């Protein structure tokens, strides 16, 4: 009988650290915008603008993040079960090992999709109407490695829904600033996913799966990753200019950019020993520290 710990491991719950900080940026960007705009915020949301409103939305945004991501990861494990069992790196996962059956993984996916949609229903109409689109993106990613080396960008797109989705949860409308943060996430996640995929270059070729390393080779794939991370940095700089952020924001950018540079300095085409440090540690620090500086800047300016 699988335990809660098994399901948390199935969906790599610790990897929530990548998208969650950017969701919080989108949320608090919207909150501070509403505080300053007052009546306009009330008009757009149709809700009480007091602390009770913000707290309930905050909880719902967190739940949406958890349910959508859990659905996506569980579906990926379900769909890839026959591939994962052939790869020594992934054969230790819960489904290939029989700890969680494919049927249970699929049921877990469906339950999380349902809970995600229910949460959006309690947020606002635009989030509810867009919830199937969000699920189509995050679930659809799992198919892309079967037909396109641009699968990394689809993963980035899925995680990029976090800041704009959180912003929509509060405001009910789109805005350029959170979209810039979403674009930063697309390029950032795509870049580090390419680095992670370096480990499976030969396996992907043998199984006729698609990835940048399998398509272009390790060296060229790393160059693509560098370009994507450069674009990500450009997006957060553009967001800083557009949002008229203060000094703390720019300190956050230095940390974010520094972590991007660091991960490329420790991963080489001929040396993949520190891929996990680049993937988890460097990017975890980049997202959390950047978010802390951005959110602090929002409230003190």
pLDDT tens, residue by residue, 246-293: 999 999 999 999 999 999 999 999 999 999 888 888 999 999 999 999
Backbone φ/ψ region at 243: left (φ over 0), alpha (ψ -120 to 50), beta: alpha
Q: Please name the residues in contact with 187: beta carbons below 8 A apart, sequence gap of 6 or more.
A: 156, 228, 229, 231, 232, 235
On whether the 4-300 domain is CATH 1.10.150.170, my answer is no
pLDDT at residue 49 greater than cutoff 50: no
Domain residues of the chain, as ranges? 4-300
pTM over 0.85: yes
The residue-averaged pLDDT of 82-91 equals 96
Residue 39: exposure state from Cβ atoms within 10 A (0-12, 13-18, ≥19): exposed
């Amino acid at each position: 009988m699988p335990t809660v710990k098994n399901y948390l491991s199935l969906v790599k719950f610790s990897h929530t650290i990548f998208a969650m900080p950017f969701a919080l940026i989108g949320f608090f960007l919207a909150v501070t915008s509403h505080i300053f705009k007052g009546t306009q915020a009330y008009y757009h949301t149709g809700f009480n603008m007091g602390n009770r409103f913000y707290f309930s939305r905050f909880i719902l945004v967190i739940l949406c993040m958890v349910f959508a991501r859990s659905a996506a990861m569980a579906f990926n494990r379900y769909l890839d079960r026959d591939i994962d069992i052939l790869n020594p790196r992934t054969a230790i996962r819960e489904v290939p090992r029989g700890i969680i059956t494919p049927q249970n993984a699929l049921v877990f996916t469906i339950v999380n999709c349902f809970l995600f949609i229910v949460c959006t229903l309690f947020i606002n109409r635009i989030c509810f109407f867009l919830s199937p689109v969000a699920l189509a993106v995050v679930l659809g990613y799992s198919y892309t490695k079967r037909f396109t080396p641009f699968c990394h960008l689809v993963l980035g797109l899925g995680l990029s829904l976090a800041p704009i989705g959180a912003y929509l949860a509060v405001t009910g409308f789109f805005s350029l600033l959170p979209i810039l943060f979403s674009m930063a996430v697309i390029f950032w996640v795509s870049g580090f996913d390419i680095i992670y995929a370096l480990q499976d270059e030969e396996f992907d070729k043998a199984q006729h799966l698609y990835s940048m390393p399998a398509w272009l080779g390790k060296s060229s794939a790393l160059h693509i990753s560098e370009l994507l991370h450069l674009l990500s940095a450009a997006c957060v700089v553009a967001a800083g200019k557009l949002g008229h952020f203060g000094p703390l924001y720019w300190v956050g950018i230095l940390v974010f950019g520094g972590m991007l540079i660091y991960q490329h300095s420790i991963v080489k085409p001929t040396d993949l020993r520190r891929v996990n440090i680049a993937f988890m540690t460097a990017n975890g620090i980049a997202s959390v520290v950047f978010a802390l500086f951005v959110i602090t800047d929002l409230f003190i300016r």
